[in-house]
Amino acid sequence: MRKFIWGDWESTDLERDENVALLACVRVQGEVMKTIIFHEHTTSYSPSHQYIVFFLKKYIEKIESMPNYDLDDELMEFYVSLAATTNLSAGAAGMCYKTYTLDKDQYTKVVLNEEQMMISQGTTGLQTWEASLRLADFFVEHPDIVRGQKVVELGAGCGLAGFACAAVGAAHVLSTDCSTAVLKLLEANRLKMRLHVAGLLRKAPNMVDPAFKDNVQVAELDWEHTDECAKLSDSADVVIGADITYDPTIVPVLVGALKEMVATSQQVAYITATIRNQETFDLFLQLVGKYSSICNAVHVYESGVLVKSVMDLSETKMTTLCHPNPMADIRLVLITRK
């Protein structure tokens, strides 16, 4: 909710702003319930109840900041009953849906079932990480990189980046991971995504990117099995991965897998990394740099919005643009064969 954009409601001059007054009126409150909370999409792919409660709480607070406000009965009743039955503590667990709108025209929507906990069933892959969002954004901004190409995603987790590639026209996407729990969820998300897109094509074809291809497959792949990585190399024009460079003990194994998969000068890998520990990221660059050329494209985000993109083609010079929020320091690394 911290990143939610309230549009006109961010206005400081609430009393004078007519748009804000409109957003607060009872009729519009009813419309918000109908077109957001009770919308077919929200009821079919329900976000976490915690998220709905926080959204309504914020909305109610905004209404209450208006002079002479009035609250819609249905809104209040729904809010009170949901808040009473929802665990609002920070550690809420359980599955929910998240809908990712990847472009401003709202063409590219990916709907994923996810776990609310960062670590669940012994894996970090049941939740979408921010690096995955940034990689998905990148391919939506640069669809030509994957359009018509065979894509293999490593450590796919819930699958966002791979689904985004399919949505912008990749010829084929193979989403891989090593965790049984992740693979089960990934397959379920793949089937859901298929149904969702098929439904959209029937009901609202203009909401689907014409390039969208229903061609994602899910497969088990452990980076330790370099022979299997080598076999998959033929199916990979573009190798992608998000937030897979986080652990110094698995970085060498990951680099071994990348070495097998980016085996020719025609192949390329795009990896987004959240810099939590500079040494781990440097280890990744150092190991991968032994056999490949690195283009370290530094993307700097503020509140999730790309504010600066620097392409540093030199292998040795690492441009470091730090952001006050370390979680927002996400780099995109391009790897090609030397």
**Which positions lie near ligand SAM, rule CB under 6 A?**
123-125, 128-129, 131-132, 155-158, 177-179, 182, 221-224, 242-244, 246, 250, 253
> What are the residues facing 246 on neighbouring strands?
none
Considering the complex, what minimum distance in angstroms separates the CB of residue 253 from ligand SAM? 6
> What are the residues facing 177 on neighbouring strands?
220
For residues 304 and 176, give the distance between their C-alpha atoms in angstroms, rounded to a whole number: 26
Considering the complex, what minimum distance in angstroms separates the CB of residue 199 from ligand SAM? 25
- 74 or 228, CB closer to ligand SAM? 228
Considering the complex, what minimum distance in angstroms separates the CB of residue 135 from ligand SAM? 8
> What are the residues facing 84 on neighbouring strands?
none
Please, which residues have CB within 8 angstroms of residue 126's CB and are 6 or more apart in sequence? 114, 115, 117, 120, 157, 158, 181, 182, 185
Token couple for 309: 């993109």
Token couple for 250: 């698995």
Give me the residue whose beta carbon is nearest to ligand SAM. Answer: 125
Considering the complex, what minimum distance in angstroms separates the CB of residue 136 from ligand SAM? 9
CA angle 75, 101, 217 (to 5 degrees): 125
- 125 or 208, CB closer to ligand SAM? 125
Q: How far from the centroid of its chain's Cα atoms is residue 314's Cα? A: 29
For residues 264 and 205, give the distance between their C-alpha atoms in angstroms, rounded to a whole number: 38
- 59 or 163, CB closer to ligand SAM? 163
Phi–psi pair at 120, nearest 5 degrees: -150, 145
Considering the complex, what minimum distance in angstroms separates the CB of residue 100 from ligand SAM? 11
- 246 or 281, CB closer to ligand SAM? 246
- 120 or 293, CB closer to ligand SAM? 120
